[in-house]
Amino acid sequence: MARFQVGQALQVACGVVLVAGLAEAQGVPRLDSYNGVAVRILQSNNAGNIHHIIDPTINRVVGIIRGCPHAHNLTTHPDGLYYYCANEQDKTVDVFDTKTLKLVQQIKLSERPNKIAVNKKHRKIYAGIVTRPLVDVIDIATHTVIKSIPVSKTVHNTYVTPDESQVVAGLRGDVNPGEPTIELIDPRTDTVVGGIELTGHTQYGRTTHEVRPMAFEANPDGSVKRMFAQATGINAVWVIDWKTRKVVDMLWPPKLPLWKQNADGIQTGDMHGVEVLPDRSAVWASSRLDSRIYGWRLPDLKYLGAVEVGPSANWMTPTPDSKYMYVAISGVDHTIAVDLKTLAIVAKIKTGARPARISTAILPLDRVNPSTTISGRQE
């Protein structure tokens, strides 16, 4: 299938909701039907070099990516042609064919990457550099680094806003009052155009905090309404009004007794995973400290409940129909699926060494790899 035809196939599939622009208003596009496409959950395993592809319709591993040691995260080409993997060991973005799962290229970066993000509209990949104050920009058409954007500090995570009008860089390190922990990049010029602080709460003697994972709530037209953010060492979620760039609320889960909490292996990320559902009905956050995921209804932020999922509950990703959440459980090397209606675990899937970042891919049917067992043998 030609590249433009692949894009049309995904656009038609997304159009079952309303129109393609509205369907892609969240990090995971909304799909009420999976007809004509394949949905895959991409589980990267940070302590190894084998990564797992899960079919959420059967809750089985159906593909294995071999390579990309110490992967930070996996994401997908705008037309479903490739999986991109942030390779912390080789300081590259590794490119894997989505059908064969074979490595086809390694894109050399300026230094070691953390999270990477794809801007489909501007056809670029943004790689946060964890050891230098830079965001590397990769042109998708040529798979070459075309610019390194200077930012205030080294970078932990990069994101793209729902309307793809801005790239959001979460910075690392201590933050002084008046300094941003989030910087905004215009993808048209690839320059920094603004910043955001995490304030409004005092802990450990600090009033400004270092950001960790982020998620976005979109308006009906796809523009950003609110941003949700987590911070180092704090078991809560910041709510930020996007128009004013100001903190307007904080979401706190019910306080657990100390004997129910798990401080082992949380890496100062008490909360470390936040997702807005594709249908915009709720925001969910995972707590490494509490071994639980917590939900709040949108738009009123009413608390919905919790699911105990396992030690060091890490990043999450929803299915496009907003019915299930897949959670990486770093403490026991598996991925679990949670039914968001019943708040029950419906599947426990063995994955690799320290599963962490996890994402949802929507592929044209002709880009799906042949089914494999967990050992990698073709069925």
Non-local (6+) Cβ contacts of 231 within 8 A are: 181, 198, 209, 210, 211, 212, 238
For residue 160, which amino acid is it? V
Which tokens belong to 123? 């056809």
Residue 259, Cβ neighbours under 10 Å: how many?
5
The CATH fold of domain 3-367: Methylamine Dehydrogenase; Chain H (2.130.10)
Give me 121's structure tokens: 């509209």
Quick one: DSSP state of residue 206? Answer: B
> How far from chain centre, in Å, is Cα 339?
19
How is residue 354 written in tokens?
Answer: 């320290």
Q: Output the CA angle 293-169-115, nearest 5 degrees.
A: 60
Q: Is 163 helix (H, G, I), strand (E, B) or coil?
A: coil
CA separation for the pair 93, 74 (Å, rounded): 10
Question: For residue range 196-247, what is the model confidence (pLDDT) as tens digits?
Answer: 999 999 998 899 999 999 999 999 988 999 999 999 999 999 999 999 999 9
Q: What is the pLDDT of residues 120-177, one digit of tens each?
A: 999 999 999 999 999 999 999 999 999 999 999 999 999 999 999 999 999 999 999 9
Q: Are 185 and 133 in contact (CB under 8 A)?
A: no
Residue pair 252/290 in contact (Cβ under 8 Å)? The answer is no
**Every domain of the chain and the residues it spans:** 3-367
Q: What is the pLDDT along the chain (379 residues), one digit of tens a residue?
A: 333 334 444 444 444 333 333 334 468 999 999 999 999 999 999 988 999 999 999 999 999 999 999 999 999 999 999 999 999 999 999 999 999 999 999 999 999 999 999 999 999 999 999 999 999 999 999 999 999 999 999 999 999 999 999 999 999 999 999 999 999 999 999 999 999 999 999 998 899 999 999 999 999 988 999 999 999 999 999 999 999 999 999 999 999 998 888 887 777 889 999 999 999 999 999 999 999 999 999 999 999 999 999 998 999 999 999 999 999 999 899 999 999 999 999 999 999 889 999 999 999 999 999 875 443 344 4
The model's pTM is: 0.92
d(CA 223, CA 308): 33
